Amino acid sequence: MSQQEKIKKLIELREQAKLGGGKKRIEAQHAKGKMTARERLEILLDEGSFEEYDMFVTHRCNDFGLADKKFPGDGVITGHGTIDGRVVYVYSQDFTVLGGSLSETFARKICKIMDQAMKVGAPVIGINDSGGARIQEGVLSLAGYADIFQRNILASGVIPQISAIFGPCAGGAVYSPALTDIIIMSEKTSYMFVTGPKVTKAVTGETISTESLGGAEVHTSRSGVAHFRAEDEEEGLLIIRKLLEYLPQNNLEDPPVTECSDPSERVDDILNEIIPDESNQAYDVKDIIYTVVDNKEFLEMHRHYARNIVVGFAKFNGMPAGIVANQPNYLAGVLDIDASRKAARFVRFCDAFNVPIVTFVDVPGFLPGSAQEYGGIIIQGAKLLFAYGEATVPKVTVTLRKSYGGAHDVMGCKQLRGDINYAWPTAEIAVMGAQGAIEILEGKNIGSITDDEEKAKYIAEKEKEYIEKFANPYEAARHGYIDDIIEPRNTRFRIIRALQTLVTKKDINPPRKHSNIPL
């Protein structure tokens, strides 16, 4: 064979590999409203940046008729490319090849790029669309999953790991995405569950559809397993690109600072009027977030889950930061099990990747009741407390209004190594609200008043006294627990200056194998 013929053969083999399971299956994939594994990579990566590995790998199984079913690449496309010029490693499961099922060689391909990503110090993005373990390969496939899990675990907190779910992801296969930092699901075409509807029916008798058991809606609003619900795959892929704007390549680097067109000294008069006069009236904390961040850009995570707390990424004068904010618009911003878990995971994610944390506090306390206690709010709330206390990144806290009880301590207070703690003049920092406090402190006196009118007057007087003494930021400021009380309209500028000041902040935790966060 001449050199020219050899080159021609290579080109042909490449073209064949690019067809995955063949034209018919590609059509079937499109008919389901799904892109192919390659089309997804084209949107995810910078144009022309993809370098593929292991295109010629095939499986080694000859059982159950698989000897005649060999496809170059074996159902997963792996390699590296760039996003906004920064290197990322990727794998994209190809459903057109044996349902994207995972074989021994398929797993090896993924492990290869994960190992290299760890050496290079670059993120790994996995696009999942698979029928799970390749049944014909039995235990070899299970071992392949375990090889990937082990790498997910060792890479955790070292390089960002992001998972997109654009098709089936069932059985033990769900645990690789679950071990990564972020999960994005596409609406209607993706699902995740440990056991599917058929097994569920057989074991528990429950009849349930695939969508209701593990669709994008379920996992982004009920279980909290997934962080983003994308209308379609393209939106999901663009979310990944956006997300990386806020993250460093690895835990030894800082997140990328960019040019900012939004003036850092911008004063927002609207903030001086945003807090309602009535303390129990709601407002949308996102209005405050959008006002103070660069160019009103806020990438909210877990938008549909535990809406009483808001988390996500934004920039301040080009500096990426993670934002945690109680949401008075939903359940009065109370801290409950779901909100505590959501925020704790986010705080730890930021801390692992050197992203400063900006916290906006307006929290009436922890949600009372047997459902919360039986669900372990003690342990769940402790997660958030632990996450804040353990975090060594710069931490800036702004108390907007309520900061009551244990929730005050949890939400980035000074004693949990809050670096710069501001309060608005509308802040109320106390052990509990006036009504509860007076019921406890004055219970006996109130009980001894028989006339209703007199009783109400007495309660009102005592509550007023309490509010004047405690429902303000000055008591906390007198003790130095608040560094400064700021005019709301200056918030953007004050946060930016705080973050600039803290750029060189160093803090360490004592040496240990690892902490024992209450799981």
Give the separation between CA 400 and CA 379, rounded to whole angstroms.
Answer: 27
CA distance 357 to 413: 12
224 is catalytic: no
Indicate if 22 belongs to the active site: no
Contacts by 297-304, CB closer than 8 A, 24 or more apart: 298/323, 299/239, 299/242, 299/243, 299/246, 301/182, 301/227, 301/228, 301/346, 302/220, 302/224, 302/227, 302/342, 302/346, 303/220, 303/228, 303/229, 304/217, 304/220, 304/221, 304/229
CA distance 423 to 46: 43
- For the chain, the C-alpha Rg in angstroms (whole number) is 27
Q: Which of 121, 196, 224, 406 is catalytic?
A: 406
Q: Can you read off the two tokens belonging to residue 278?
A: 């009535």
Question: Should residue 208 be labelled a site residue for ligand HXC when binding is judged by CB under 6 A?
Answer: no
Query: Interacting stretch for ligand HXC, rule CB under 6 A, among 55-63, 164-172, 373-381, 402-410?
Result: 164-172
Q: Nearer to ligand HXC by C-beta: 177 or 328? A: 177
* Residue 420 interacting with ligand HXC (CB under 6 A): no
Residues 6+ positions from 85 with CB-CB distance below 8 Å: 46
134 contacts ligand HXC (rule: CB under 6 A): yes
Which of these segments, 169-177, 289-297, 460-468, 493-501, binds ligand HXC (CB under 6 A)? 169-177
Judged by beta carbon, residue 132 or residue 215, the one nearer ligand HXC is: 132
- The residue count for binding ligand HXC (CB under 6 A) is 15
Distance of closest approach, residue 172 Cβ to ligand HXC, in angstroms: 2
Q: Is 132 a binder of ligand HXC (CB under 6 A)?
A: yes
Q: Out of 135, 270, 456, 460, point to the residue binding ligand HXC (CB under 6 A).
A: 135
For ligand HXC, the closer of residues 190 and 354 by Cβ is 190
Among 72, 172, 318, 375, binds ligand HXC (CB under 6 A): 172
Q: Which two tokens stand for residue 321?
A: 């930061």
Each residue 82-121 as x (binds ligand HXC by CB under 6 A) or -, in order, gives ----------------xx-x--------------------
**With binding defined as CB under 6 A, does residue 145 bind ligand HXC?**
yes
Q: How far is the CB of 22 from ligand HXC (least distance, A)?
A: 10
Spatial separation of the C-alpha atoms in residues 171 and 196, rounded to whole Å: 8
Stretch that binds ligand HXC, among 55-63, 152-160, 171-179, 430-438 (CB under 6 A): 171-179
Considering beta carbons, is residue 66 or 267 the nearer one to ligand HXC? Answer: 66
Cα separation, 129 vs 36, in Å, equals 10
In the complex, least distance from residue 341 CB atom to ligand HXC, rounded to whole angstroms: 24
In degrees and rounded to multiples of 5, residue 477 shows phi and psi of: -65, -35
User: In 182-278, where does DSSP find H-type helix?
Assistant: 197-204, 210-214, 216-221, 233-244
Query: Can residue 133 be called a binding residue for ligand HXC (CB under 6 A)?
Result: yes
- Is 74 or 428 the residue whose CB approaches ligand HXC more closely? 74
Q: What is the DSSP letter of 76?
A: E
Residue entry with tokens 């679950």: 178
First-residue to last-residue Cα distance in the chain: 63
170 forms part of the interface with ligand HXC (CB under 6 A): yes
Tell me if 331 contacts ligand HXC by CB under 6 A.
no
377 binds ligand HXC (CB under 6 A): no
Question: Which H, E and C letters describe 448-507, residue by residue?
Answer: HCCCHHHHHHHHHHHHHHHHHHHCCCHHHHHCCCCCEECCHHHHHHHHHHHHHHHHHCCC
* CA–CA distance, 489 with 495 (Å, rounded to integer): 12
Please name the amino acid found at residue 267: V
Q: Which of 157, 172, 224, 375 is catalytic?
A: 172
The active-site residue out of 100, 131, 171, 412 is 171
Token pair for residue 63? 């059982």
The answer to whether residue 142 forms part of the interface with ligand HXC (CB under 6 A) is: yes
In whole angstroms, how far apart are CA 362 and each of 269, 333, 452? 20, 7, 33
* Interaction between residue 174 and ligand HXC (CB under 6 A): no
> Which CB, 134 or 348, lies closer to ligand HXC?
134
**Of the two residues 134 and 341, which places its CB atom closer to ligand HXC in the complex?**
134
Reported residue count of the chain is 519
Q: Does 407 sit near ligand HXC (CB under 6 A)?
A: no
Pick between residue 137 and residue 351 the one whose CB is nearest to ligand HXC. 137
79 is catalytic: no
* Shortest Å distance, C-beta 173 to ligand HXC: 5
Cβ nearer to ligand HXC, comparing 171 with 356: 171
- The reply on whether position 168 binds ligand HXC by CB under 6 A is yes
Instruction: Name the DSSP letter for residue 303.
Output: T
What letter would DSSP give residue 231?
S
Q: Binding to ligand HXC by residue 173, rule CB under 6 A? A: yes
91-101 burial by CB neighbour count: b if 16+ within 10 A, else e?
bbbbbbbbbbb
**Choice between 132 and 320, CB closer to ligand HXC:** 132
Among 20, 123, 131, 236, binds ligand HXC (CB under 6 A): 131
CB within 8 A of 237, min separation 6: which ones?
Answer: 40, 43, 44, 164
171 has catalytic annotation: yes
For ligand HXC, which residue of 75, 171, 248, 412 counts as binding (CB under 6 A)?
A: 171
Per annotation, catalytic residue among 216, 230, 407, 427: 407
CA-to-CA distance for 147 and 106, rounded, in angstroms?
Answer: 11
Choose the binding region for ligand HXC from 132-140, 158-166, 304-312, 438-446 (rule: CB under 6 A): 132-140
Catalytic residue list: 171-172, 406-407
Interface residue list for ligand HXC (CB under 6 A): 98-99, 101, 131-135, 142, 145, 168, 170-173
